[in-house]
Structure 1
Amino acid sequence: MADTIRPKGLDAQGCIAREGSLGRVPAAFRPVVAAARDRILDVLGARLHSAYLYGSVPRGTARVGRSDLDLFVALREEPTEADRDAVRALGAAVDKEFPQIDGVGTLLYGRERLLSELERYDLGWFVACLCTPLLGDDLAEYLPRYRPDSLLARETNGDLARWLPRWRERIEGTGSGAAGEPARRPLVRFMSRHLVRTGFTLVMPRWQGWTSDLGEMAEVFAMYYPERAAQVRTAARYGHEPVGDPDLLRSYVDDLGPWLAGEYARVHGVKAPRPD
């Protein structure tokens, strides 16, 4: 399968095309999106600069009862703890009300940081290419076009080595018995997706295309690293259907993760440090 995948996801100028749109939101999720939009306005008011959807819902691939709702919110100023508490409460309320979704995740940043030079090829790219405008003034209008090059690869996923110690701590915190399985499932989903996306962006400049589909990402990676293909394909599967296997998590932080971090640094370098 891998050798049949051809580059895609670019516009006529060879830049990454913005994915997703409100028109692609499946009918079952439209009431969820409408409720989230209204509550963001109610909760943040004049502090809100803009809000976006990202992930499977605006791409039109969300599954009822299985997919989460991903929100990205930009404030006029840097967010406070009260802002973070407010959006967490908003997400919990929307998740409780709508069985169509399996959780709500909200990323919250200030406008100045999103448009900063430091974030131009990370959070800025994320907004411009992966986010669908929902409310306010679209920040993409102030950002450049992006190509699938080594700079973008480095600044999006070139920090895996910094994450691995934190991942180990989170795994240890779940314990080793069956009682920790519910806590390990979301870790498996999160880490699986992170590793697959990192594997994909490692080879993205050679492939010269873009995709957000985990299965396709794994197959593109397999074209260039067949010796690691089985591990990344497995991670793509568990990114959709997570299990609570502690051995799988340990393999991520003891084998696949360290190898991927080292290879990433060798090929693209290390991401510039962020304040948080």
Structure 2
Amino acid sequence: MAGTVPHRGLDAQGYIEREGSLGRIPHAFRPVVAAARDRLIDLYGGRLNSAYLYGSIPRGTARVGRSDLDLLVVTRREPTEEDRSGARNLGEALDKEFPEIDGVGTLLYGRARLLSDSETYDLGWFVACLCTPLLGEDLAEDLPRYRPDARLARETNGDLARLLPRWRERIATAEDTDEARHHLVRFMSRHLVRTGFTLVMPRWSGWTSDLREMAEAFAAYYPERAEALREAAEFGYDPPGGTSVLRSYVDDLGPWLAEEYARVHGVKASRPAD
């Protein structure tokens, strides 16, 4: 049962270790990472405070032609629309030029927001534990260390109820193509699996970013929902293009998970952007 779930991702003091490193980047992805680094310098110049990699590429688990390149870009001041447009254009160019990746996802924030008190246990934790420094200042030096506790669970994924109406709108307005549905299923599957995992994370007493391991940790505490999350974990890697999965997420699994999350951990504090 729950006690047999293998724990990992913590140091000897019980803090979440930073995952990923530049040394773990698979050889096939090093050219696109080098290109991203150089072009970020050219694009943002002195406005750039930091840049990070996150996701499967710095963890060393990326699959050629299937994995995306995930970037976090930090500007010295709040990013402008020009900054956001530049990030989109850069991502599109890299995606076209490098067949090794399947898309580019770029998060763009100002330094002050990432270091704000309201983001300490959300975006701050993300930077300190899930992001690999690529350029500039490492903001983790100004952030605390993190344990897999209820506060972290609440402030990272305790907003699913607020997200579900937006998801329904995205499904309703998405292009009627397998590719569009493919990306939606992958995005929502990953989000639900991570939410299911952080629901049980304080009891599991560990951290992992592996979707299948997340689903197994969840299954030890919620066997009645285990198969649904295991399926979502698989779809997070290899999503289908149909609409039935999306409907099940916003009509069944998502609402149940949001309600149980609020019952166990409470609701994430609102942010100005909400």
Question: What band does the TM-score fall into relative to the shorter chain?
Answer: over 0.9
Shift of 1:2: 7.7
Q: Does the CA contact (< 8 Å) of 1:16 and 1:210 recur in 2?
A: yes
Deviations 1:112-143 (A, max 9, x none): 00000000000000000000000001000000
**What letter matches 1:49 in structure 2?**
N
**What letter matches 1:232 in structure 2?**
L
SS of the residue aligned with 1:94?
helix
Deviations 1:9-52 (A, max 9, x none): 00011000000000000000000100000000000000000000
Partner of 1:87: 87
Shift of 1:274: 1.3
Partner of 1:167: 167
Where does the alignment leave 5 or more consecutive residues of structure 1 unmatched? none
* Separation in 1, partners of 2:86, 2:2: 44
* Separation in 1, partners of 2:170, 2:245: 14
Shift of 1:182: 2.3
Deviations 1:227-261 (A, max 9, x none): 00000000000000011121110000000000000
Partner of 2:34: 34
* Separation in 2, partners of 1:91, 1:173: 23
Superposed CA RMSD: 1.2
Where does the alignment leave 5 or more consecutive residues of structure 2 unmatched? none
Shift of 1:7: 1.2
Shift of 1:183: 1.4
SS of the residue aligned with 1:140?
helix
* Separation in 2, partners of 1:51, 1:114: 13
Equivalence map 1:55-74=2 (5 Å): 55-74=55-74
Would you identify which runs of 4 or more consecutive aligned residues in structure 1 move more than 3 Å? 1-4
Partner of 1:269: 266
Aligned length: 273
Deviations 1:128-162 (A, max 9, x none): 00000000010000000000000000000000000
Of residues 238, 246, 249, the one that matches 1:249 is 246
The answer to whether structure 1 residue 258 and structure 2 residue 258 are counterparts is no
SS of the residue aligned with 2:119?
coil
Q: Does the CA contact (< 8 Å) of 1:2 and 1:219 recur in 2?
A: no
Partner of 1:122: 122
Of all paired residues, the percent bearing the same amino acid is: 75
